[in-house]
Chain A
Amino acid sequence: MSSGKNQKRLGKWLVNLTLLLLVLIWTIPTLGIFISSFRNRDKIATTGWWNVFPHREWRPVSELDPKALGLNPDEVMEIEGVSGTFDQFRKGIETPDGKRVAWIGNKRLGKVEVQENAWTIDWDFSLDNYEQVLGGQDFEFRRPDGSVEVVPGDNMVNAFLNSLAVAIPSTVIPILIAAFAAYAFAWMKFPGRRSMFIMVVALLVVPLQIALVPILRDYRALNLNGTFLAIWLAHTGFGLALATYLLYNYISSLPRDILESAFIDGASHFTVFTTLVLPLSVPALASFAIFQFLWVWNDYLVALIFLGGNPEFELVTQRMAAIVGARGQDWHLLTAGAFVSMILPLTVFFTLQRFFVRGLLAGSVKG
């Protein structure tokens, strides 16, 4: 019996350990960029973000001038009791007492360092990166050696506001339209009801790529390109099939007698819909809303095509992609910018996680 218990404990331990490992793997990428976003511009580009954790590193204790020592880098040299070629010193040679001698820089202008292996923490956090990615003007950056460099910032605030203006209506509009339609499919009798619903089901999986070129042509003809309305409608069109389908599943399962008693009392469909069905459907509406919000906020392709021509209306994803493309080495902007772009979806996600999960379940298991 006790061996069985031990085995069970071992099993539990193994389960926890494996899971911990997986969680760690899943978290490290985000953690890395999160830590980096608070690090100094120069440090991000020259050292790994894991240096913020205590680690052993070679640190210089004293500096030697190779010229004063009369060293010739083209021959075998002897420094501080160890000897080696230039290439060996470039990599660093350890002395018997645990120190290291390393040649820093090139043959002509280099210097020789004596280093010791010591515990260090690279602990220097600031909000500068965020200031620069949101501030939109030039910033002075002071290097450790005292030189000052002017670096351009980026204006993410504008893009953030645009994303809000796109994401909120693009979430509410399709839900409202889908809810009306779902109500009609569930509680009204009219010719063509079945065939229309079959159309909704069939369109569930149609890739949106199919629509981009024709819709772009329509938008050009209607002079809608590069407007908020254009992108709201596009997101509505691409999200509507799923929204209608999910909400139909929910609304059609509402208790029949509640609605019927309302009709007997003389309520119109519109009143029943707005005063009864909408409030009763809040869980379904909320879960789809989160889904749609994340999808719209994180969308890049639709924005690229329908808002692409208008820098005024650039969204955060477009802004980020532009920074990656044009200033891919500005790591400090990329890290902070990525977090600015993630902050809202992550907040929505964590506060409304339960609804979101419910929405997923309704969509894929039941449907």
Chain B
Amino acid sequence: MESPNNKVAGDQSFVAGILALIGRVLLAVSIPLISFYVLYLGFLFLRDSNAPREIIVLIAIIWGVGGVGILYWVFNWLVEKLPDQWKGRLLPFVFVGPAIAILSWYLAIPTLRTFYLSLFGRDGPPEGLSFIQQISSAAFVGFGNYASVFTQDLMVEAFRNNLMWIIFGSTFSVIFGLLIAVLADRSSFEKLAKSLIFLPMAISFVGAGIIWNFIYEYRPEGQTQIGLLNSIVTSLGGTPEAWPQWVAISPWNNLFLIVIVVWLQAGFSMVLFSAALKGIPEELLEAGRIDGANEFQIFFRIMMPYIQGTLISVWTTIIIFTLKIFDVVWVMTGGQFGTHVIATQFYRQSFTNRNSGFGSAIAIVLLIAVIPVMIYNLKRFREQEAF
């Protein structure tokens, strides 16, 4: 900013310096203010406007994506104006700050808040009271909600079903994924097969629910069945059943829902296994074959040990996934007919019954269930990290 001319002329340079300083301060204050104000106006427009949907959508995308870019640019610009020492101290936080703030707001702090809520009754802690008053109020139930989580009939049913989801869902996803990966590796139409198996990954659970309704659809006996499964059953001389809704075989009707998720997820494990299998050195397999091992021995004695790491990570990913399963059950049966799982119970308690204490207790139970995986991740991070 300081030009050589300023140093020569005394008075003039002083005034110019002051003006430059004021200009800088004004700029430093006004640029963020203006950008925040513009962003806020955009927000109001999006919230309240009656403009045609197409325009709202376009502006929303530009505002949302551009807004974040502007924020980073403005913060960086501000920090760049500071002396070098402060710049070095603050710049990392401009870069990492938003991520940490959002992660804290959306995941880290809510675990504590949800735990706190879980200690209270239906309406949560009474508002406007101090912490001490809150926990001595009638709404404070301590671990009462947890007692009901583990004893209430529907919850016990949900735990049992989730256990089925975890066991059958993850096992079948892994087995089918592995089977298809091994077969595709040797087949002549590998690419096509993998694409088609992988395709359901792009389909939403709601869409998958509709697709599978067409497989499971039930018509009373004597009518033409339009569901594939019942059509096969009746053509073989059986009686049609409403498969997922079939109360008589609860809890086994859950399997008909699990099939849907296996169908969606097998592609995921297939891709990972396929990559892992391709990573096995060809010499290793050749050596096995020369030693006279048959294909099954090669699979169990060479391939399986080699891809063990992938096997574990795929398995845990799918276990966590099935633990949180919600959409499929909610769309297909709404949790009726003995198909409730933990996540649907959570939704029902928190948002349908508006019992935030009980719902929060269920969420905390879910969190506790994933803690072993979290510890495993952290341990692995410590081992491999050169941080």
In the complex, which range does the number of interface residues on chain B fall in? 35 or more
- For the complex, is B96 an interface residue (Cβ under 8 Å from A)? yes
Contacts of B64 in A (CB 8 A): 168-169, 172-173, 228-229, 232
| Given known contacts A22-B197, A173-B65, A206-B111, A44 and B106 CB-to-CB distance under 8 angstroms | no
Cβ–Cβ < 8 Å partners of B209 in chain A: 324
Within residues 309 to 346 of chain B, which ones have a CB less than 8 A from any CB in chain A? 309-310, 313-314, 317, 320, 323-324, 326-327, 330-331, 343, 346
Q: Dominant SS at the A interface? A: helix
Q: Known contacts A48-B231, A238-B107; is A32 also within 8 Å of B214 by CB? A: yes
B96 engages A185 (CB within 8 Å): yes
Q: Check A321/B331 contact, CB under 8 A, given A190-B92, A301-B326.
A: yes
Let me know if A246 is at the binding interface, CB within 8 A. no
What residue of chain A has the Cβ atom nearest to residue B357's Cβ?
A: A213
**Assembly CA distance A12 to B359 (angstroms):** 53
**Neighbouring A residues of B69 by C-beta, 8 Å:** 176
Closest B residue, CB atoms, query A47:
B224
Give the docked Cα–Cα distance between A349 and B46 (Å). Answer: 30
B95 and A269 contacting across the interface, CB-CB below 8 Å: yes
Inter-subunit contact A342/B65 (CB<8 Å)? no
- Chain A residues contacting B47 (CB-CB under 8 Å) are 227, 229
Report the Cα distance A165→B114, complex, angstroms. Answer: 30
A 12-27 binary contact with B (CB < 8 Å = 1; else 0): 1001101110110011
Chain B binding surface SS class: helix
Is the C-beta of A181 less than 8 angstroms from some C-beta in chain B?
Answer: yes
A233 at the interface (CB under 8 A from B): yes
Give, as a whole number of angstroms, the nearest-CB distance from A157 to chain B.
Answer: 8
Does chain B have a CB within 8 A of A184? Answer: yes
Contact B201 A209 (CB under 8 A): no
Cβ-based interface call for A364 (8 A): yes
Stretch in contact with the other chain, from B51-59, B154-162, B298-306? B51-59
A44 to B61, CA, bound (A): 38
Instruction: From known contacts A29-B211, A324-B209, infer whether A209 and B377 are also in contact, taking CB-CB under 8 Å.
Output: no
Interface pair A349/B201, CB less than 8 Å apart: yes
Q: How far is the CA of A203 from the CA of B207 in the complex (A)?
A: 29
What would be 29 A-B contacts, judged by CB atoms less than 8 Å apart?
A: A16-B189, A22-B183, A23-B193, A26-B197, A26-B200, A48-B225, A168-B64, A177-B99, A181-B98, A199-B108, A206-B111, A207-B324, A207-B367, A209-B366, A210-B367, A211-B106, A211-B114, A215-B106, A244-B103, A268-B80, A298-B205, A300-B204, A300-B205, A300-B330, A316-B204, A342-B203, A346-B199, A350-B195, A357-B271
